[in-house]
Chains A and B, each alone.
Chain A
């Protein structure tokens, strides 16, 4: 299966990195510091929408450079035609780029980049031209931005955001929202994680409350479900075994982790990846002296 990614140490919260932006750009009651902590509903809210010439910019800075292979923003309200740029600078002087998502020609990434499977596109649909996920599917999952990069050392990360933002109300949505919301931010190192065929699975735990009525009726109070992911490694070598054990130890029951099923497919990451928690106890079984098998069960963080 494809190469996935599992990140467990969020340098932004663990090292309490400084988050800065133009003060006037962010609401006083929902400032940028809200990015460092869960709950996701406590989001940083901007006071304006960015445009290409005047984007909304925020920077994350640490005291010492961190090892960076993954950075992300969670529970945002950027519309799928919005654009994002991540620049990682090696030092706080912000002169030397370690990594940038901006294409050499100056084009920035779409919030949900890439061409969706052409076989699923219907001619005349609202996603025909850009070839993206349809609006319904886009709104069904939290709008998370994931950026993976080859290992680099960075002390400052700069996010540049511009484009439309949306707001959902019931079954309707509007793309004229005048503020960006970002619930949580993440930056740090990660494990390249290949799931093995076996018990690997994705799931969905239903939300909502079902009441069975006398006489056979069913009444359902809708709720919010959780996605689940089961990561099965049927054979681990000693190095992987150790890294997995460290990871599960660190996460315990409360810390969040990031899971991306396929770093090459933005659509898979959108649908099946995101912010998760370990939801079952962990054990690794030995196949022989050198190899072990383990399964990690993850459930989505929805709070």
Chain B
């Protein structure tokens, strides 16, 4: 029979160390002398595996947000009249040592006394009696505040993804003058250019050392500032410390400070953004990786799926913006069809494109005739007719003006007043004929910087929006261990399209259903 091993990572307040408490579902587990760690007991104090699920939004929409359902992990806390002292084996993660911790009559009171803060939980599944190395990781998550009852403790668990609801910008202007800005800027978040921003409004810092200074990089190094505009009129970049006249600007790339001779009424620049540890990042995957590791939110990032075809994106976070990591990542991954980001089973951040079912090799097969699944269930949702034309918007100009100055060139003036560059696809006559006026034009606003990239992504978007995937729920009676978002499985069922077996791609799953097994959210 399968046992779920639930390892709680606790923060021990008195010592400041992190501890690991091993618990399990019935009948518990004890590792053997040859396992690593050896001879450790996972006490059978967990009622059932956690009731949680995660999925990447709705496929077919420009939305890379991962949806998650908060479930509760229920731990048993019954008292025992056995006078013998019971112990739990706890590992001090900071020293690596294993401790025998004496337990109260109610074994899990230690979680409720305030000495411990529960940080995270890892669930693994193992066959009863098997060597520990065969355990498969099901889920890694964060834990909320415990909800105790007399004989049980419910721990709300949630995807580590919620850690990313924190602002990207962390530094603030001190408002002490000079490069820390005037007093009015005190405690305003410093601006941050991410990727290649086609049009950004720098923060004016005032006159410092006889010249007007603008900050475009939040005080940190940027890759380049190739062009500038003043009310639509081009301002050229000059090398050197200070510009010669009011038609030029200079930039100090190490600090992101732009110097001009005049305070322009409306000054914008194109900026190739922040360098992370000395490297300029602008492809979707590498940019998200740099942001996540830089903020300490993830220690490993797998962006190979996304950057296999690298696309340049740009997002300028103006001073005081406060956009969160999650919001920014969603904008980035939403720029490509089926893009998504989520936290994987080992706690690593994954940025990828969920493949089409035919593009990925199926890892497992489920069949309702063979009894490995009770059958596919249709999911309510995507019932919009396909789009007859897809228009991609790229190269975002965050606050376009209504007019440019009279001496602006046509090119500059167009760029100045236009919010987006649009890349449309050809209207699909077949769809227009079949659906008539029900088939609409789909407009997707992306964070892509180059219209060439948008044009290259266009066929995939058209494929996605003109033939939106059908979504199903697949109950996997074996619990689908090891299957995660992006994997493909083959399903045979006696409903339309699956009689001969067909591949579907997994875009989400429940971790463990209370009734046994797990449910995969699949798309065809």
A-to-B contact residues, CB < 8 Å: 12-16, 27-31, 33-34, 36-43, 45, 47, 167-170, 177-179, 181, 207-209, 211, 213-215, 217-219, 221-224, 254-255, 302-303
Contacting A27 at CB < 8 Å: which of B1, B39, B127? B39
Stretch with Cβ within 8 A of A (4 or more), from B80-88, B306-314, B435-443? B80-88
Q: Which residue of B lies closest to A12 (CB)?
A: B84
Q: Which residue of B lies closest to A28 (CB)?
A: B98
Docked complex Cα distance between A169 and B98 (Å): 26
Please determine whether A43 and B41 come into contact, CB atoms closer than 8 angstroms: yes
Docked complex Cα distance between A208 and B128 (Å): 13
9 pairs of A and B residues whose beta carbons are closest in the complex? A36-B84, A41-B28, A27-B39, A30-B39, A13-B84, A42-B41, A179-B33, A45-B39, A37-B84
Please determine whether A37 and B39 come into contact, CB atoms closer than 8 angstroms: no
Neighbouring B residues of A209 by C-beta, 8 Å = 516
Docked complex Cα distance between A254 and B80 (Å): 8
Neighbouring B residues of A29 by C-beta, 8 Å = 37-41, 89, 98, 100
Please determine whether B29 and A41 come into contact, CB atoms closer than 8 angstroms: yes
How many chain B residues touch A (Cβ–Cβ < 8 Å)?
43
A121 to chain B: closest CB distance in Å? Answer: 28
- Interface check B43, CB cutoff 8 A: yes
Neighbouring B residues of A170 by C-beta, 8 Å = 127, 129-130
- Interface check B116, CB cutoff 8 A: no
Output the residue of A31, A36, A42, A214 with the most chain B CB within 10 A: A42
| Consensus secondary structure, chain A interface | loop
Docked complex Cα distance between A29 and B29 (Å): 14
Please determine whether B28 and A39 come into contact, CB atoms closer than 8 angstroms: yes
Docked complex Cα distance between A28 and B86 (Å): 15
Please determine whether B87 and A34 come into contact, CB atoms closer than 8 angstroms: yes
Please determine whether A224 and B32 come into contact, CB atoms closer than 8 angstroms: no
Docked complex Cα distance between A179 and B33 (Å): 7
Given the interface pairs A167-B129, A221-B1, A303-B26, the reply to whether A27 lies near B516 with Cβ below 8 Å is: no
A44 to chain B: closest CB distance in Å? Answer: 9
Contacting A41 at CB < 8 Å: which of B32, B41, B130, B372? B41
Contacting A37 at CB < 8 Å: which of B32, B86, B128? B86
A24 to chain B: closest CB distance in Å? Answer: 14
Neighbouring A residues of B131 by C-beta, 8 Å = 169
Docked complex Cα distance between A106 and B89 (Å): 40
- Interface check B256, CB cutoff 8 A: no
- Interface check B375, CB cutoff 8 A: yes
Neighbouring A residues of B80 by C-beta, 8 Å = 37-38, 254
Docked complex Cα distance between A41 and B126 (Å): 15
Given the interface pairs A168-B129, A178-B33, A224-B128, the reply to whether A16 lies near B83 with Cβ below 8 Å is: yes
Q: Which residue of B lies closest to A41 (CB)?
A: B28
Please determine whether B129 and A31 come into contact, CB atoms closer than 8 angstroms: no
Please determine whether A45 and B33 come into contact, CB atoms closer than 8 angstroms: yes
Please determine whether B28 and A303 come into contact, CB atoms closer than 8 angstroms: yes
Please determine whether B27 and A224 come into contact, CB atoms closer than 8 angstroms: yes
Given the interface pairs A31-B100, A169-B129, the reply to whether A43 lies near B30 with Cβ below 8 Å is: yes
B90 to chain A: closest CB distance in Å? Answer: 10
B169 to chain A: closest CB distance in Å? Answer: 46
Docked complex Cα distance between A207 and B2 (Å): 12
